[in-house]
Structure formats: C-alpha cells, structure tokens
Chain A
Amino acid sequence: MKIELAGIRKAYRGKTVLEDISLTAEEGSCVGILGGNGCGKSTLLSILAGVQPAQGGSFCYDGKDLLKDAGLRSQVLGYVPQADPLIEELNAWDNLRLWYDRKTLRRELDQGVLQLLGIGSFLKTPVRKMSGGMKKRLAIGCAVAAGPKILLLDEPSAALDVVCKEKIMDYFETFRAQGGILLLATHDMQEMAFCSQCYILKQGTLTPYAYDGDLRRLAGNLV
C-alpha cells in the first residue's frame, strides 16, 4: 500500500498557492512537509483531507483517488488540523462520542489507541479547561476513530511541553509500526528527525529535502 499525490493544484483569486504537488509514500513511512509561514502547508493538508477542493490533481491510495471518493477517504484517512476541532463546552468523552460509538470507545480507552494517548485520565474534563497537550491528544484521538491508514497532521506538537510531545511521538511510532502513513506539516526539529522523507514547500512547489539536523541550511532553503 502506498499513497501517490500527483499534480495537485490550488489558486486563490488568481494567485497560485500550490502548483503540481506530487509525492509518493510507502506504508510505514512519515512524510514531513516543511516551509515558511503561509507557504501553503495547511492548504495542502486540508485539500488531501477533503476539506477544500483542489483545482486539479489526484491523491491515490491503493489505486483509488481519495479526492473523488469521500466514502473511502473517511475510512482510511484521519486529519488533525492546526487548531483543535473540539467542542469547547463538552468534555473529552462527549467529544469522542461524536466520532466513536459507545462500545468502540470503551474498547479503545481500555486497550486501544486512546489508551496509548492517555486520554482516559482526563475523560470528564471539559475542553475549555484542558491544557494544549490534552487538547491535541484528544484531537488525534478523534481523528483516528475510524482506524485510518493515513494520518494528516498540521503542526501536531506546536507549543506542547516535552511530556505531551513524547506521548504523541510514541503514538506516531506505533502508528507507523502498524503500517500507517503519516503526513506532517511541521516546524519542529524532533518531528523532522522522525520523518522518513522530507519536502520543502516553497512558492507553491514541493522539493525533496534531506534533513540532517542543520537548521542553518534548512533556513537557507526555506527563504
């Protein structure tokens, strides 16, 4: 199983944001999309998640175009946007119930992905009283309800403390080990190091980049 992005294009009011975006990723891989603020990383992920329409191109999984097949997309793809998609007035349990049926939710909390993310410890806490790390873990927990094969994450560990970041990275490790494909838009060094392949998104085009921990070189490439 692999994913193939080919020729994805997007323009806002005549201004090209993404032009001919193409890449391939095998199962168990993690793809990092690097780039300056406003370069189009979030737009790319939201197009792949089916939130925004593309003006051209395809996103194939197992030979099927996920941009055209919403049913398959909701089965195989999980998406965690930059801002947490949670209902502030409700607690973690209620937010999860939006995506899980009761039985699956209990099972996942006991021995599944939600247990791995440590969500059980703040199940009754209202979202508005949660820390950033709790919210991010809960958002990931919601995104993986359907047991996706591909996970799209927009800056997942931005502004999180080390402990939360570690928990999330542990989960990513497990996800990859199970054959999942991760696509991360990131600025975080730890996440970049975690990626099996990196790309720089600049002026709408995607270029492969071999991240070696040299931030100065990376910054030079981003400008």
Chain B
Amino acid sequence: MRGFCSYLYMQWKRSRKLLPALLGVTLFTCVCLGVFGTNYLREGALGEGQKKYRVGIVGDTTDSYLGFGISLVSVMDDSRFMVELPEMTEEEARRAMAEGELTAYALIPQGLVDSIVYGANDRPITIVGSTGQKGLVGFFVEELAEMVSTLVVRSQSAIFGMQNILSAHGMGDVWLEATDKLNLRLIDLVLDRGRLLDLTELGLAGGLSTGGYYLCSMLVFFLLLAGIHSSPLFGARSRELMRLLSARGIGAAAQVAGEYLAYLALNVICLLGVFLVLSPVLGSGALPIPEWRDGQTAAALFWCFVLVAAVLSAMQFFLYELVSGVVNGVLLQFLTGIGMAYLSGCFYPVNLFPEGLKRLGQALPAGVALSWADKALTGSVSFQAAAGLLIYLAVFFGGAVLVRRCRIERG
C-alpha cells in the first residue's frame, strides 16, 4: 500500500507540472466557446439575416399567378427566415450548386400553368438537389417540393375548376369576382398558416432547451478533447519503470490506478475551472439557458460531470495505453474525440440522424454521458445512464490494466 501511495503521489507531482498550461488552455477554450455561444444563442440570432438555404427558381415564371406566388413566399411568408428563392437560369443554378452557394433549384417547365388550366397537369416541377443529399437538406427539399405543389398546382386547379363549374351553371358573369375572392382566400390561408398552431419548444433531447443541450454537449466535448492537451503526460513513460515497479509489487493494476487517478485529478481541476468561469456567466443571464437556476444547478452539474470526466479520462488513458508514441496517441485521441462527439450529438442533436446512427451515438460513452448530463441539468437522475457510465469505466480501466500487463510481460 505504501508503494502504491508513493507512486500515486509521484504521478500527481508529475501531472501537476502540466496544470498551469492546461488551465490556460481551458480558460482560452471557455472564452472562445462563451463568445460563440453568446452570439449564437442570443435572441434574434436566428432571425432574418441568417438565411440558411438558397433554392433557385429556374424556368418559366412568366405567369402572373406563379410569379405572384413566388414573390409572396419570398417576401411575406414565415419561411423567408430559412429560405431564399432567387430566380436564375438553369446554367447559373448549376454553377451555383457546384460552388455550394445553392442548396437546390426548382425547375418550372414551360407551359406549366397552361397544363394546369387544361386539366392535363402532366408537367411536374422538378426539384434538383446535389448528389447524395441526405438529412435536413433532403428533408427541406422534399418539403419545398410539397409546398410548391400545393401552392401552385392545387390552387391553380381550384381556381380553374371553379371557373368551369360557374360557366357550366350559367354564372359566367361572376367568375372574375369569385376568382379574386378565392385567390385572396388562398393567399390569406397560406400566409397565415403560421398562426394555425402554437409551437411549444420541447427541446432537442431529454426535454432540454437548445441552450441547455449545447451547454451539456460542449462540456462533454471539452472533456473528450482533454486527452489531446494532456499528451505530454503519456509520452515520457518509462517501460523499464513499469517493469521494475511490477517486480517490486506495484503491479499493472496499481500502476494504472496511480496514473489514472492523477490524470483524473488534473481533468477534474480543469473542469472546476470551467465551472468557476461558467457559473457567474450563466447566473448573470448572459446565455439564455432556462434550466440554469442558481448555484445549486452548478454544483449538481459539476458533480455529474465528475463522473463523466472519470469515464472519458479512463477512455483516454486506455487509448494512450493501446498505442506507442505521442503522435499516434494524439492522433487517436483526436479522431476518437471528434468522431464520438459528432456521433453522440455534441454538434447536432442525435434525433436528426438516421435510426442506426442515432442508436450507435447514444450507446457510445459520450452519448451515455450526454444523456446523464441532460438529466442532471433538469434536476433528475438517470440510473440507466449512470450504470452505463460505470460499466464503461470498468471496461476502460480493465482494458488499460490488461494492456499494461502485456507490456510489462512482453518487455
């Protein structure tokens, strides 16, 4: 036991030499994320100036109804915050798509309106997207196609159908007035559709607000990347020392425990630094996170993240055990950290992913950590996530001990 305590103390002495640099990096990361987060989450950031999608309108838009409809959608409809509908030639549209300036374009065929007037409806609008377009963009393009189809094709059909019925019943003298009324009614319905329902935001995952979700995911991401800036700790380990310690009774498990605890202490101190910066910032309301109530939330979340830090530190430790050399270690940490952060929903909520990826992301250590943290932020406890984290902790620790034992015995 004395040997283990001495080893743990020496590892702590070794680790703490890195502490000032790590705290500096942590502070810098906090400031960067804070500035980004404040700008992103501040009210109105998703307003008119932030159009995300540009969908080109290509082809025959000379019909007054069609032109009027497009103009209404681009200028007055709620969708104007999300979409821009510039008119252009097909060549311009293709070029813009190739350069990534355009999400898709809608090709309106020659004589579309005439085809609808005569009831043929045989010239569909073609939506052209880029190859392999999936996810949100694909979904949006489908929605747009549906919208154009409803607004343009069905409303036109209704108007011309009404004119035919009125003529057939000898009411041809009132059809101009009736058309105007129907048009106004249609426009009214379309432009007013935002008022058809009240949208209550249930949050991105686990009932969290956007701010709350990204607070948790950024903290998980920060811990995922901790393995990179701690690389100097893992570069200069003497294999001879490992073997000698083993011969003197400090075996693989005790060695791993000593090194891991020192490394974990380092990460927990950095995490504490993050919370010391974060707490007053969130307390002042600079970042709109409704789940953040007071210092109690900060304390609860900090302790929740200590468990997350324990698991992710064990994972990083295990990865450094697997490879030899700092460069390989850093590369592995980076790829694992970024990949896991992406799949587990640190950048985009996992709900946006296909079912298979979503399940994988939620089962990964970062995914389990995120669901554990999400619950903690809302003031509840997920025992399932806690069990998952403890299992991961045991697996990574056990894995590191096994690899260390092989290293010692192989020489």
Q: Does B202 contact A (CB under 8 A)?
A: no
Q: Mark A22-46, 1 if CB is under 8 A from B, else 0.
A: 0000000000000000000011001
Q: Does B17 contact A (CB under 8 A)?
A: yes
Q: Mark B392-411, 1 if CB is under 8 A from A, else 0.
A: 00000000000000001101
Question: How far in angstroms is the closest Cβ of chain B from A13?
Answer: 11
Chain B neighbourhood of A95, CB < 8 A: 10
Query: Considering the chains assembled together, what is the distance between the CA atoms of A74 and B409 in angstroms?
Result: 18
A79, B244: Cβ atoms closer than 8 Å:
yes
Chain A neighbourhood of B243, CB < 8 A: 46, 51-52, 81, 85
Chain B neighbourhood of A97, CB < 8 A: 6, 9-10
A51, B408: Cβ atoms closer than 8 Å:
yes
B244, A70: Cβ atoms closer than 8 Å:
no
Q: Does B134 contact A (CB under 8 A)?
A: no
Chain A neighbourhood of B17, CB < 8 A: 89
Please indicate which of the listed interface residues B10, B239, B247, B411 has the most CB atoms of chain A within 10 Å of its own CB.
B247
| Residue of A with least CB distance to B2 | A101
Chain B neighbourhood of A99, CB < 8 A: 6, 248
Question: How far in angstroms is the closest Cβ of chain A from B248?
Answer: 5
| Residue of B with least CB distance to A128 | B236
B249, A74: Cβ atoms closer than 8 Å:
yes
Provided the pairs A51-B246, A51-B411, A74-B248 are in contact, do residues A94 and B13 lie with their beta carbons within 8 angstroms?
yes
Enumerate B165-222 residues with CB–CB distance to A below 8 Å.
Answer: none
| Residue of B with least CB distance to A42 | B411
B411, A43: Cβ atoms closer than 8 Å:
yes
Q: Mark A43-82, 1 if CB is under 8 A from B, else 0.
A: 1001001111100000000000000001101100001011
A84, B238: Cβ atoms closer than 8 Å:
yes
Q: Does A87 contact B (CB under 8 A)?
A: yes
Query: Considering the chains assembled together, what is the distance between the CA atoms of A51 and B242 in angstroms?
Result: 9
Chain B neighbourhood of A53, CB < 8 A: 409
A87, B14: Cβ atoms closer than 8 Å:
yes
Chain B interface category by residue count: 20 to 34
Q: Does B240 contact A (CB under 8 A)?
A: yes
Chain A neighbourhood of B244, CB < 8 A: 49, 51, 79, 81, 85, 143
Chain B neighbourhood of A143, CB < 8 A: 244
B411, A98: Cβ atoms closer than 8 Å:
no
Enumerate B355-411 residues with CB–CB distance to A below 8 Å.
Answer: 408-409, 411
Chain A interfacial positions (CB closer than 8 Å to B): 42-43, 46, 49-53, 70-71, 73-74, 79, 81-90, 94-95, 97-99, 101, 128, 143
- A to B CB contacts below 8 Å, 25 in the list: A42-B411, A43-B411, A49-B247, A50-B246, A51-B246, A52-B409, A79-B244, A82-B240, A84-B238, A84-B240, A85-B241, A86-B238, A87-B10, A87-B14, A87-B238, A87-B241, A89-B14, A90-B13, A90-B14, A94-B10, A95-B10, A97-B10, A98-B6, A98-B7, A128-B236
Q: Which 3 A-B pairs have the closest CB atoms?
A: A85-B241, A85-B240, A50-B247
Told that A42-B411, A50-B246, A51-B244 touch, could you supply 13 new A-B pairs with CB distance under 8 A? Answer: A43-B411, A49-B247, A51-B408, A70-B249, A74-B247, A81-B240, A81-B244, A82-B240, A85-B238, A85-B241, A85-B245, A87-B238, A94-B13
